[in-house]
Structure 1
């Protein structure tokens, strides 16, 4: 499969523009060949499934070597998925799918179905359905830097606050292409809404966060004709994009 920089479809035009402006490809290790991978799978799990290897090579072909500054991960990352099962592993996963460039950074692995798992070993959380979803999330965070942050709320009640906002603004639609189990993006003609529970789920000491930006001035891509609504009420703040 060709690199996502050469053939970015089915990414939205927003994400394609983000990669074109901010990403590049570097050389990374692809790990063991198929024969060695089969042996390791047999040793650790008692059998192997060639569908796993097919999935690995597809993921490697599309993403391996991709690098950019990730606002979601809060540092520069590079993609280098490999299959390297170890004794005691309970599931097959592709390690180093998203690697931090600092020792204190958090990385991500992939399940063979594409699910993105943030964290390491016991401290991990399923965050996105695919790496494309992660890229879409980063593209939106990058775009939000050019918008006015009009509200922010942190706390365990972020889901309730989002629910109230959706009642106030019934035209809000879920941006499924950038959302996952611990991240939600919502938008209408006037506002862009970001709810992130990843780091709260991972560490427990961090509060889930809801951010709302004015969407005026943002480049409109993949537009949906929605009824315009008056702005809802949430505590205001003038912070910047991020977790």
Structure 2
């Protein structure tokens, strides 16, 4: 698996451009080797979860060391997927503020679901890290537009590849709308945000 900055794979042209302009790859500690991790799993759980180990190495190959200024968080983020046998079986550190703030982190389940956590209270956030990258790319694009205060037009369609669980983008040829209730679910209602911009006729973002 190639790193996302070397081979973006299924990412949209918007996300590819976003990463090309904003992202860099930093040195990163990948933690113990496979045999050490297997021994730690046996000691902690009495068994080895090969699916979890494979997902960890896949996530490290594709995202480890990725860093950029995240529009969703208004700060830099850093990707460092690791496994800690003292935690429940999952991958942690897949996404964190840079520098780490001691209260927020993100994990990944074996199926690739990204979990956001505040003070160890976790909620499903995105179906994958690619969905998170797409969300950030759309948000950067939206912030270059003019926010509107009136109600958005109807007949919007969900932008699935840039949306998650309670983090949603929808659009039509006239508008691009963002709704986010995830922060409220995590106990921070003041961070819940929404916005919409009016798209220019004939020049709407291809989503």
TM-score (norm 1): 0.78
The residue aligned with 2:12 is: 12
Which is higher, the Rg of structure 1 or of structure 2? 1
Shift of 1:120: 4.7
Q: Is 1:24 aligned with 2:8? A: no
In the alignment, the residues of structure 1 paired with residue 119 and residue 42 of structure 2 have an alpha-carbon distance, to the nearest angstrom, of 21
**Match among 94, 97, 113 for residue 100 of structure 1:** 97
In the alignment, the residues of structure 1 paired with residue 203 and residue 59 of structure 2 have an alpha-carbon distance, to the nearest angstrom, of 30
The residue aligned with 1:42 is: 42
Q: Is 1:169 aligned with 2:166? A: no
Q: 1:103 to 1:46 in 2, by over 3 A?
A: same
Cα deviation 1:117-162 (Å, max 9, x = unaligned): 111563221100110000001001111111110038xxxxxxxx8x
Any stretches of 5+ residues in structure 2 without a counterpart?
A: none
In the alignment, the residues of structure 1 paired with residue 27 and residue 201 of structure 2 have an alpha-carbon distance, to the nearest angstrom, of 37
- Tell whether the 8 Å contact from 1:97 to 1:109 is kept in structure 2 after alignment: yes
Where relative contact order (Cα < 8 A, 6+ residues apart) is larger, the structure is 1
- Tell whether the 8 Å contact from 2:180 to 2:194 is kept in structure 1 after alignment: yes
Shift of 1:176: 0.5
**Which stretch has the larger CA shift, 64-73 or 111-120?**
111-120
Cα deviation 1:179-223 (Å, max 9, x = unaligned): 111201000001000000111111244364331111228975545
- Tell whether the 8 Å contact from 2:52 to 2:110 is kept in structure 1 after alignment: yes
Matches within 5 A, 1:1-243: 1-86=1-86, 89=87, 91-104=88-101, 106-120=104-118, 122-151=120-149, 169-170=154-155, 172-206=156-190, 208-216=192-200, 222-223=206-207
In the alignment, the residues of structure 2 paired with residue 52 and residue 117 of structure 1 have an alpha-carbon distance, to the nearest angstrom, of 15
Shift of 1:46: 1.8
- Tell whether the 8 Å contact from 2:174 to 2:204 is kept in structure 1 after alignment: no
Alpha-carbon RMSD: 2.1
Q: 1:31 to 1:217 in 2, by over 3 A?
A: farther
- Tell whether the 8 Å contact from 1:12 to 1:222 is kept in structure 2 after alignment: no
